[in-house]
Chain A
Amino acid sequence: MTASAQPTLPQTKEPSSARLALTLAVAGLVSGLILVMAYEITQPRIEAHRREALKRAVFEVVPGATKLAKLELQDGTLVTAAEKSEGPSVYAAWSDEAFLGWAVSGEGAGFQDTIRLLWGLTPDGSKVQGMQVIDSRETPGLGDRIYKDADFVAEFKALANDPKPEVVANGQGTAPHHVDGITGATISCKAVVNIINAGNETWRSKLPATPAIQAPSGGQP
């Protein structure tokens, strides 16, 4: 924006290498500063959204829940986990009066990419009482019916865990551990059930019928 009147790039003689390096260094530095600022401003909101989404999912998979606590395993016992802890953890969910069950998360390979799930277990772990897909990139219109198809999601509202849940062809489910699959989304359906089975394997033996800690007051973890 100087007096230069020509509309094209005004350099006529070769700039020194130092000048080139300096230009890039300054650009990188300024860019870095801007990004750090943007990160600082947006990160708290992003974190809050993530926690909010997870909390909503817990309330969804454990019907009637109003309070929850995040627990993690330390030396074989479940203890209250820090909200930001990244280790393997489960959620204990209460209504205003009683302990309602656990919410377990797990992930595994879907048709296209990793599927992340959250599902609710009854206090004794014998039944799945709800399922939510947290993250997936399944095919729109086909595989994504694992969370868009209300009938399929409803299959997990009362699903027996003994024997292990398994996917059967749509309409063929007879036993309490059968999940009616979705035609055209067989792999995605099987992936969901496999993730649940793997998670149950890991967690069921470690979950007591009632958690050692009390329901938190005020509904906050």
Chain B
Amino acid sequence: MSAPSSPSEAYAEFVKGIWKENPVFVGVLGMCPMLAVTNSAVNALAMASATLFVLLGSSVLVSALRTVIPKQVRITTYIIIIATFVTVADMTLAAAVPAVHKELGAFISLIVVNCLILGRQEAFASKNTLWMAFVDALGMGLGFGFALFCLGASREVLGMGSIFGVSLFGPNYEPWVIMILPPGGFIMLGLIMVVFNWAKFRKGAA
């Protein structure tokens, strides 16, 4: 390993992905899966785990191979690496949890083009040690998952009156259907970002 990495440094890299540089709320990356599959908490969690798996796998591999991959073909190589992990995740989900896989449909394969993942390879993993790349990927992946879950859970509660499929308000609740349709995704994402930025601003001002 080259650069020395103290525990506190690693901790900082880990936390930044979850809060300060949250890929969704701050980076506004990965909007396609963010909006498409967050109509329920379960879907959001499944997408988050698949993305985390791909991000961890490819970051570690890219970091390990960073001295071997010529920079002229690095993006192509990253994409091959990412696509391999995505396809493995796709098949694994289909074999393990067919119902969730059916719900997510094409969006699993589309993790390949999630700019969050390629972005982390180019901006971080290709320039840092294996351990730091791992920590960064873990933080970013969990940050992405946190954002997906916030959106998925709130949309499910409003749009279907349930959470994880468990009804919350009884049969008299008239579901707010638009929340689980695409416009609801945009509206909810906007609202959550307002809250997130407000919280950050207040913290900064204090």
What is the interface of chain A, defined by CB distance below 8 A to chain B? Answer: 1-2, 4-11, 15, 19-20, 23-24, 27-28, 31, 34-35, 38-39, 41-43, 45-46, 49-50, 53, 135, 137, 139-142
Contacts and interface: CB of A to CB of B under 8 A. Distances in A.
Q: Is the interface of B mostly helix, strand, loop or mixed?
A: helix
B39 interface: yes
A141 B2 contact: no
Contacts of A6: 2
B166 interface: no
Contacts of A50: 98
Nearest to A40: B91
A141 B181 contact: yes
Given A31-B84, A38-B92, A141 B177 contact: yes
A140 to B, nearest CB: 5
Given A4-B2, A5-B2, A53-B98, A27 B77 contact: yes
A31 B98 contact: no
Interface of B: 1-3, 39, 64, 66-74, 76-77, 80-81, 83-84, 87-88, 91-92, 94-96, 98, 102, 105, 126-128, 130, 159-160, 175, 177, 180-181
A9 B93 CA distance: 35
Contacts of B177: 140-142
Contacts of B94: 42, 46, 49
Contacts, number: 89
B92 A1 contact: no
B71 A49 contact: no
B98 to A, nearest CB: 4
Given A23-B68, A46-B94, 4 more contacts: A1-B67, A24-B76, A38-B88, A42-B94
A141 B72 CA distance: 48
B71 A11 contact: yes
The 7 A-B residue pairs with the shortest CB-CB distance in the complex, in nearest-first order? A141-B177, A45-B95, A42-B95, A42-B91, A31-B84, A15-B70, A49-B98
10 contacts: A9-B126, A20-B73, A23-B77, A27-B81, A39-B91, A41-B91, A41-B95, A49-B94, A140-B180, A141-B180
Contacts of B98: 46, 49-50, 53
